Amino acid sequence: MKVWICIILYVFSTIFCVASKELEIDNITAIINDQIILKSDINKILSLFEKEDEHFKIPLKINFLKEKVIQKLILENLILQEASNMHIVVTKEQINTMIQKIALKKKISVDQLKNNILFNSHFTYKNYINNIKKLLTIKMIQDYELNKRINISEKEVNFVFKKLIENNKQLKKINLSYILLPFLKENSNFDINNKKKIAESIIIKLKKGYDFEKLYAECKKKNSLFLVKKMFWMNFQDIQNSFSNAFNIIEKGQILGPILGNKGLYIFKVNNINNNQENVITEFYIQHCLIKPSIILTDLESKNNILDIYKNIKKGIYSFDYAVKNFSQDFYSSNKNGDIGWISEESFNSNVNKVLLSLKKNEISKPIKSNFGWHIVKLLDKRQVDKFYHLKRREAYNILFLQKMTLEKRHWIENLKHLSYIKIIGS
């Protein structure tokens, strides 16, 4: 495991741009457009394997790992060149935020993290910062490209969503009463068949309109033949675990049975169903224009910029869509007219929620502040959803996204390679 950590760190901390006149041609492993990969840097990475793996010097293993390192460096090089062409810049603020997150995850301070890195014989702190910068750059360009390429329709989400919630109604609680004809150890096959006939006759009687409460009272008196229980709550999941698929379709007042359980034959009445409506949340379908504070733009300047944009939209100088396309600093949504889809109220603070709840469809908000910066929001729609189903719908979307991401990432990389000059000089 340590070996792979080492290779990942080295791969993402090495990219080379050296004038060819300063190098001997046999020092170059690969050329990617106007960038090069050196043999010495490949060997540095391979030397880590030698330190970690006593069987490393097997020729086949060396060649296999060398090819993997070269291909990984070529891929990193291509992506970083594309990011440079698109003028993607990682700020010091973003790097510092990432360092703080890493330190927090390790449950140490930033100074302790820095000291730990300084004691590492393989990397300097500057190497570590450069590595983070490259990782963030790669993530930004990759997220942008894949979000631009991946389209997931509501029809696709609904299809996967229905599969996920099929037979999965964990939020429901059911209030039941039952009449049980128990099977005893000493019961013969004749006794069991006789009880089945009694249970079936009870079901026929109930279906013809006989009152369950009256029948329940009658069976309660015959405690030598029946066991009864009235008005108790169970989680739907627990019921299904006990009685398999017999409870797939449930509605209030329904009679179910006879159902075979561990203790005998059950006849159930569904008295009530609790759908846990306290789990209902509001979702908003929105577009937005975002201005983010940064090391070169204060919060006050961000606020003034978004106010100017809002005033110009209201005056009709330009449209909301124009503002999003030309001014929004949300890199991922600006190419989709600022569309960020359905967002749960739990994603916003109370002030933003208050504004969103007050908006009418297609109405544009005044500038509002969130944890991300200053926004102008256009409300396209809003709805109330059960939190459980909301999470399942999000899960369905993520499943589709991951499937399509794998395919689109491969297409993107193939396209980058196709449009680039790549030459491996030696192996």
- Model-level pTM? 0.47
Those residues with Cβ within 8 angstroms of residue 303's Cβ, 6 or more apart along the chain or in another chain? 367, 369, 374
pLDDT given for residue 120 in this prediction: 62
Place of tokens 């993520």: 398
Which domains, ranges and CATH numbers included, belong to the chain?
A: 2-149+419-424 (1.10.4030.10), 173-274 (3.10.50.40), 280-387 (3.10.50.40)
Q: How far is residue 253's CA from residue 236's CA, in Å, rounded to a whole number? A: 16
Which residue, among 11, 18, 77, has the nearest Cα to 41 in the 3D structure? 11
Beta bridge partners of 173: 235, 274
Q: Using CB atoms within 10 A of its CB, is residue 253 exposed (0-12), middle (13-18) or buried (19+)? A: exposed
Please list the pLDDT of the chain residue by residue as tens digits (427 residues).
444 444 444 444 443 333 344 444 458 888 888 888 888 777 777 776 665 555 555 665 667 777 888 888 888 889 999 888 888 888 888 888 888 888 888 888 888 888 877 776 566 778 888 888 988 999 888 888 888 888 888 889 888 888 777 655 555 678 888 888 888 767 777 778 888 888 888 888 888 888 888 888 888 888 778 888 888 887 777 777 777 655 655 677 888 878 888 788 888 888 887 765 556 788 889 999 998 887 677 888 889 999 999 999 999 999 998 988 888 888 777 677 888 888 888 888 888 888 888 999 899 999 998 888 899 999 999 887 777 777 778 888 899 998 898 899 999 999 989 988 988 886 5
Dihedral, 208, 210, 213, 216 alpha carbons, nearest 10 = -90
What single letter denotes the amino acid at residue 179?
I
pLDDT given for residue 348 in this prediction: 81
Q: How far is residue 108's CA from residue 128's CA, in Å, rounded to a whole number? A: 17
User: CA geometry: angle at 239 spanning 238 and 241, to 5°?
Assistant: 65
Q: How far is residue 178's CA from residue 271's CA, in Å, rounded to a whole number? A: 10
Contact between residue 173 and residue 235 where contact means Cβ atoms under 8 Å apart: yes
Beta bridge partners of 235: 173
